[in-house]
Amino acid sequence: MFKKIKNVHFIGIGGIGISAIAKMFLLEGKIISGSDMSNSKIIEELRSAGAKIKIGHSEKNLPKELDLVIYTIAITDENPELKEAKRRGIKCITYPQALHEISKEKYTIAISGTHGKTTTTAMIAKIMIDAGLDPTVIVGSLLQSADRCGLHADKTQNNFQTNFIAGKSKYLVVEACEYRRSFLNIEPDITVITNIDNDHLDYYKDIKDIQSAFGEFTEKVPERGYIVCDEKDKLVTQAVNNAKAKIVFSNQFTGNLKLKIPGEHNIKNAQKALAVANILKISPSTSLRALNEFNGTWRRFEFKGETDCRTLVYDDYGHHPTEIKATLKGAREFFGNKKIVAVFQPHLFSRTKLLLNDFAQSFKDADEIILAPIYPAREAFDQTISSDILAEKIREHNRPGYQNNHPALTKAGKGNSCFGTPTFSSLIKEEIKPSENQILKSPPILRRSTESARGGGVYVFNDFFEIEKYLKENLKKDDVLITIGAGDVYKIGESLLN
């Protein structure tokens, strides 16, 4: 379908998946234009490669010469560019439909699952590249440091990050998203299911509905193909009952794994990557070496740097309770008794509301929790849910036996910040007159010194500026700061490092 196409316009071109197709088309010599609501590192990279991109959506963004429009499923039929393209009779397809056209021409390895699919996709890609299989890769993040293999899988080109690798072999490694059953557009030869959990409940009715979608996806794998999953994950094994392909259980693959990235969840991701490598007849020694050298991906427990006062700064894309628990548990195992400060930006009003109780119980391995306002993404404002409500729910789950430990009420709570120590009188002023200073939107949570709740407090702030101010006054040497969320919360850590 795409061979005769010359001019392509992307609506939502900055998306982590759709931008990979834009990169692919640029490498093929196509003329690329696009639009998005805000600028980003990905958009700047596309511009440098020759794409003409506008910020904001308008029918005027469509070029005169145009053969095809590809758009993200996050936009509605009322988008002015989509409406204008249809009026002009230009063919319009979604990003998942574009993946269908690409995958049907390749031997496709599709990695699906509620959690861990990005990391698992990147692990499989690295193994295959190191084994010389030269795959094309579309991943929902950016490959990191030594794993940045360049647009042509050339390991010498490691000076930038990329979510797309243009291989020359028959293989396609692609991350398969379940939102709105998007992955049903992909034509897989090997399918990996990392796990199944409650998510995207603005679309799915319940967990059975989610299982049914994964069941449909596995039924697309032909009899000669393979399905990789964990035998002990009952939600997954129930979903693959009607599959005709051979099922390979990943938990039988162990080997001498010594991963650089922490957490039991990443061991499970690596086992699935080993299972795929075994199917492709890649030697265990090559697979294990690749996994043990794997540095992770952008925004997946990514080490951002160390502040001048030696606070370690990490960032993680986790936006579901299960992901947050796994990230913080892994961090606790990795850092031991170091103080862990989690800055969480909830993603979507609907997800925060529907999984409120689960979110409230997800931070037990953090010593302190800071909540930013909810990141709405594609959703309209919903006044029935907020970060204040989440903070109160955390309080309900952790109230018994707590002592007041709000840092604005005690000198010991503040300590000597490596960014500078505020005066005690200013702290009291902030506590007594929050309406003037707009620092705290909810009262302090109480602390209990037990393993079930390590935290020194949960605090809600109005914006990133206030969060940065608080962190500068409180972070100390050897503390660990982890920004968590699928929005733009990573900017807080980057600002502190700058």
Helix (H) or strand (E) holding 284, with range, is helix 284-293
Burial class, 108, CB count within 10 angstroms (exposed 0-12 / middle 13-18 / buried 19+): buried
Tens of pLDDT along 109-156? 999 999 889 899 999 999 999 999 999 999 877 776 434 433 334 443
**Mean pLDDT computed over every residue of the chain:** 84
List residues bridging with 293 in a β-sheet. none
Residues carrying an active site annotation = 117-118, 175
Statement: residue 200 has pLDDT above 90: no
Closest CA to 438 of 414, 458, 462: 462
At residue 56 the predicted structure's pLDDT band, cuts being 50, 70 and 90, is: very high
- Give dist(CA 369, CA 455) in Å, integer: 7
Tens of pLDDT along 6-26? 999 999 999 888 999 999 999
- Give dist(CA 353, CA 141) in Å, integer: 26
Which backbone phi and psi does 337 adopt, to 5 degrees? -95, 10
- Give dist(CA 296, CA 483) in Å, integer: 16
48: number of Cβ within 10 Å: 9
Q: Tell me which amino acid residue 59 is.
A: E
In order of their start, the domains of the chain are: 7-95 (3.40.50.720), 106-293 (3.40.1190.10), 302-497 (3.90.190.20)
Helix (H) or strand (E) holding 341, with range, is strand 340-344
Contact 141, 299 (CB under 8 A): yes
For residue 80, the Cα-to-chain-centroid distance in whole angstroms is 29
